Structure 1
Amino acid sequence: MSGQWAGSTRRYELPPDWPELRALVLARDEQRCRWRENGTVCGRSATDVDHIKPGTNHSLTNLQALCRDHHAIKSSREGNAAPRVTRWRPTERHPGLL
């Protein structure tokens, strides 16, 4: 995988019929971004399908069409809000103190 999917396991969490679900959502949303801000819908050309609520609920009611820019903004916000997993090595004692 390359680009933004590099190192991600997200693709494996999608259902086998994801291409069909994606096409349905884009058609339902008329290929227009559904991002709402201050009561206004973006309406630009949608290229991505996003989960409204993060997780593995792939129902049509939890999916929306977004333009690339708004999908990036939403994904960034969700990533920044996610709990951090730190993988620090334990502090090693100095060899002279062993």
Structure 2
Amino acid sequence: MSGQWAGSTRRFDLPPDWPELRALVLARDEHRCRWREGGTVCGLKATDVDHITPGSDHSPTNLQALCGTHHAIKSSREGNAAPRFTRWRPAERHPGLL
């Protein structure tokens, strides 16, 4: 895997019928981006299917067709809002100050 999927286990969380579900959502949304901002729908050609509410609800009512640009924006916002778990390590003291 490359790009954003590198190191991700998200692909394994998708249901076995994901290709069919993805095709169903794209057809339902007429292959048009459903991103809504300021009361206007994008309407560009949709290439991605995204979860409206993050998580493991793969029902068609929780899925929407998005263009690549808006899918990237939404994913970035969700990633930035996610809690960060980092290890804090104190700075090493300079050897001359020991």
Return the TM-score normalized by structure 2: 0.89
Per-residue CA deviations over 1:4-39 (Å, capped at 9, x if unaligned) read: 210111101100100000000000000000000000
Q: Percent identity of the aligned residues?
A: 85
Q: Distance between the aligned counterparts of 1:91 and 1:41, measured in 2? A: 49
What does 1:43-54 align with in structure 2 at a 5 Å threshold? 43-54=43-54
Q: Distance between the aligned counterparts of 1:29 and 1:22, measured in 2? A: 11
Question: Residue in 2 aligned with 1:25?
Answer: 25
Q: Distance between the aligned counterparts of 2:90 and 2:17, measured in 1? A: 43
5+ long unaligned stretches in structure 1: 93-98
Q: Distance between the aligned counterparts of 2:90 and 2:53, measured in 1? A: 36
Cα RMSD after superposing both structures = 1.5
Q: 3-state DSSP class of the match of 2:32?
A: coil
Question: Residue in 2 aligned with 1:85?
Answer: 85
What does 1:50-89 align with in structure 2 at a 5 Å threshold? 50-89=50-89
Per-residue CA deviations over 1:42-95 (Å, capped at 9, x if unaligned) read: 000000000000000000000000000000000000000000011345788xxx
Q: Distance between the aligned counterparts of 1:78 and 1:2, measured in 2? A: 20
Question: Residue in 2 aligned with 1:96?
Answer: none
5+ long unaligned stretches in structure 2: 93-98
